Amino acid sequence: MMGIKAFITGVSGTSLTSDERHFMDNEHPWGLILFARNIDTPRQVHRLIDDYREAVGRGDAPVLIDQEGGRVQRLRPPHWHDYASGRQLGDVWRHDRKAGEELIRLHSRLIAHDLALLGINVDCLPVLDVPVSGAHDVIGARAYSTDPGEVATIGRLACEGLLAGGVLPVVKHVPGHGRAGSDSHLELPSVATAHAELSKTDFAPFRALRDMPLAMTAHVRYTALDPDHPATVSPRIIADIIRGEIGFDGLLMSDDLSMQALDGDLAHRAEASIAAGCDVILHCNGDMREMEEIAAICPVLDGRALERAGRAEAMLGGGDEIDVDAARARYRDLLEPSV
């Protein structure tokens, strides 16, 4: 079998088309990411994931989703449960630390349970961004707090809940999206804050969780760090800040390359992300023409990137036992004060 390629792909719908199956079989992306367009019923999602893994020939190939709670949750009623936002979790924790710790762990542990039943083994959670007054609401209530220390503490609890359920967390968006004055899905945000201040605030939660297996970059330009390039395509930021100052040595994935924050065509974006130091690139929209463009550029995973992927994959699966009904009842009770 050919080597695994250094990208994560989306697909167009609720089942693999013949073209998508052929693409997976030939290109062997490292992972698949799911969105609302890919989700109908539990049985359908499970079948889609099984078909993807059969096509790439790896029974435990990573399957990712953004299931945070609040406004960002791809799995929703009636087949799945609603979950609180990061801000709601933070509010309970600030009101009662003991109850908050239990709630945050339960939040992630129950999400992990939902995901594991479907075969999803990676959740793009926690959000470690620290919002500031006047920033765009793209992070907003997704954030746990405006205090870096609180974000770090709550973020670790969230990771512990996922890992206890056999699901890998992805810390995002390194080195920090909280100051962005615009939505990076639509345009490139530019942050002019001094390096020392960024280090003290924005970087702090990522530094505290640098031992996590996976992280996602921010499509944000920090002019004090690199005036010309956003973090995703900045060799200086990835080497000096993410790998150096923050000390993260897990698998680093780009945020979605189809977002409008990045310049150039998809091939240029992919090339620039890998050249800058991203181990794996993320492409989400399921557009086959774009998928083929990305795959043509992406290298096979090797060297340090392959080692990091292997370390992450070694943590997949397992998980402790949970009485789901009792855990859900307890989750509702603990959340009650903030609802």
Write the pLDDT tens digit of every residue in 195-226. 999 999 999 999 999 999 999 999 999 999 99
Cα dihedral 29, 31, 37, 41 sign: positive
Rounded Cα distance, 68 and 310, in Å: 25
Please report, for residues 54, 73, 139, 229, the alpha-carbon distance to residue 50 in angstroms, rounded to integers and kept in the order given.
6, 22, 32, 38
What would the DSSP string read from start to end of 176-229?
--TT-SS-TTTS--EE---HHHHHHTTSHHHHHTTTSSEEEE---EETTT-SSS
Kindly calculate the radius of gyration of the chain based on its CA atoms and give it in whole angstroms: 19
Rounded Cα distance, 214 and 31, in Å: 13
Q: Above pLDDT 70, what percent of the chain?
A: 97
- What band does 58 get if pLDDT is binned at 50, 70 and 90? very high
Rounded Cα distance, 188 and 193, in Å: 16
Write the pLDDT tens digit of every residue in 229-281. 999 999 999 999 999 999 999 999 999 998 876 888 899 999 999 999 999 99
Rounded Cα distance, 211 and 247, in Å: 8
Q: Average pLDDT over the chain, rounded to whole?
A: 94
Whole-model pTM: value is: 0.96
Which active-site residues does the annotation give? 185, 255
What's the rounded mean pLDDT across residues 137-161? 95
Task: Give the closest residue to 143 by CA, choosing from 109, 173, 112, 165.
Answer: 173
Residues 281 and 232 sit within 8 Å (Cβ to Cβ)? no
Q: Which domains, from first to last, does the chain contain?
A: 5-338 (3.20.20.300)
What's the rounded mean pLDDT across residues 10-28? 97
Write the pLDDT tens digit of every residue in 274-308. 999 999 999 999 999 999 999 999 999 999 999 99
